Amino acid sequence: MREAKTDQTTRERVADRLREEALTAAAIARDFEIQASTAVSHVEHIAQSLDSTDEQLLVAPPTCRDCGFDDFDDLINRPSRCPDCKSESVEEPAFRIE
């Protein structure tokens, strides 16, 4: 884990990391020692706060490792299984700010 800047909130530090590299919710949770659901909440709030800026949150959608399906309705949360082939081998979405 990186050394935390004391004058920044966790959400601000997450946003800074997403400006550096694409991360999944699991990676954010691990790096910032928070729950994955909290990481998703931070990402959702970060996306809203970017609405008034020239930056945007990019999302690499979840993708089924078995059949390649990537047209999931919810791009933020990791689905439990693929609706097409029913496989549970689904990659998490990844987030990046550009």
Q: For residue 28, what are the CA distances in angstroms to 77, 79, 96?
A: 13, 18, 11
Query: Structure pTM?
Result: 0.85
Strands (E) across the chain are located at 23-24, 57-60, 63-64, 90-91, 94-97
Give me the average pLDDT of each 10-residue run along the chain (98 residues): 70 97 97 95 96 94 95 89 96 96
pLDDT for 75: 87
